């Protein structure tokens, strides 16, 4: 999805929600490296180039400006939380990818996410979308949150259970799996109740509006 958005001018302009992302090929694949000469935005007309120079230019600029500089590397062929590294060190991220066998995407990590209480925990939202043969788009009214079992700490990159909400990681590595929600899942009705009581907002008028904007 990162490559599709970056190589389509229309998608690139409309997807303001998509995090800053760079496609990185392991060096053993001998993929041409695009030079970062004019700013830090990679060219959108080349669908197969390594963008590490653009990543490094952005990383160094953020470092000089004192901005948050945590990134996440994710495998293009990964599943169940595998092939993922979170780090604030560019060299560590690139070395990690260069020792893998598949393409990775490096994305700017969201360092201050909305957290669930009690527990100060991360979550992700799973929504189901159907596109029919006439390109009508339907969003299923039900959805589910996958929740973490451990408190979120932005400076602790080694503890996967506070960063990654995959069920397999939570179940295998966290002693608190299932402590807050059965199976570490919260459905929309309960989530809406939480938002109303904790933040005085509704799911429909806040988060679902953003989801609808993303899929439209």
Domain residue limits, the chain:
2-108, 123-215
pLDDT tens-digit profile of 87-138? Answer: 999 999 999 999 988 899 999 999 999 999 999 999 999 999 999 999 999 9
pLDDT tens-digit profile of 19-29? Answer: 899 999 998 87
* CATH architecture of structural domain 123-215: 2-Layer Sandwich (3.30)
pLDDT tens-digit profile of 5-21? Answer: 454 445 555 556 678 99
Residue 82 confidence (pLDDT): 82
Nearest Cα residue to 86 out of 97, 74, 72, 100: 72
H or E segment and range at residue 126: strand 123-131
Q: Per the CATH hierarchy, to which homologous superfamily does domain 2-108 belong?
A: ATP-grasp fold, A domain (3.30.1490.20)
Q: Higher confidence at residue 3 or residue 206?
A: 206
Whether pLDDT at 44 is above 60: no
Query: What is the spatial order of strands in the sheet that 185-187 belongs to?
Result: 123-131, 137-147, 185-187
Nearest Cα residue to 74 out of 107, 50, 42: 107
């Amino acid at each position: 999805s990162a490559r599709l958005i970056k190589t389509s001018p229309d998608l690139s302009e409309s997807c303001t929600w998509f995090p800053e992302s760079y496609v990185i090929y392991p060096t053993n694949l001998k993929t041409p490296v695009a030079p970062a000469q004019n700013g830090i935005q990679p060219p959108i007309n080349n669908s197969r180039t390594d963008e590490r120079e653009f990543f490094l230019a952005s990383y160094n600029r953020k470092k000089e400006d004192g901005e948050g500089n945590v990134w996440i590397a994710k495998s293009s062929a990964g599943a169940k939380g595998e092939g993922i590294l979170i780090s604030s060190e560019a060299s560590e991220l690139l070395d990690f990818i260069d020792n893998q066998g598949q393409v990775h995407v490096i994305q700017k990590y969201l360092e201050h996410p909305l957290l669930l209480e009690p527990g100060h925990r991360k979550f992700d939202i799973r929504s189901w979308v159907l596109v029919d043969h006439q390109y009508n788009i339907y969003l299923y009214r039900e959805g589910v949150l996958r929740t973490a079992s451990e408190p979120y700490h932005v400076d602790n990159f080694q503890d996967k259970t506070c960063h990654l909400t995959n069920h397999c990681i939570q179940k295998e590595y966290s002693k608190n799996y299932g402590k807050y929600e059965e199976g570490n899942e919260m459905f929309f009705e309960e989530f809406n109740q939480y938002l109303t009581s904790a933040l005085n907002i509704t799911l429909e008028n806040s988060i679902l509006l953003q989801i609808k904007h993303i899929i439209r």
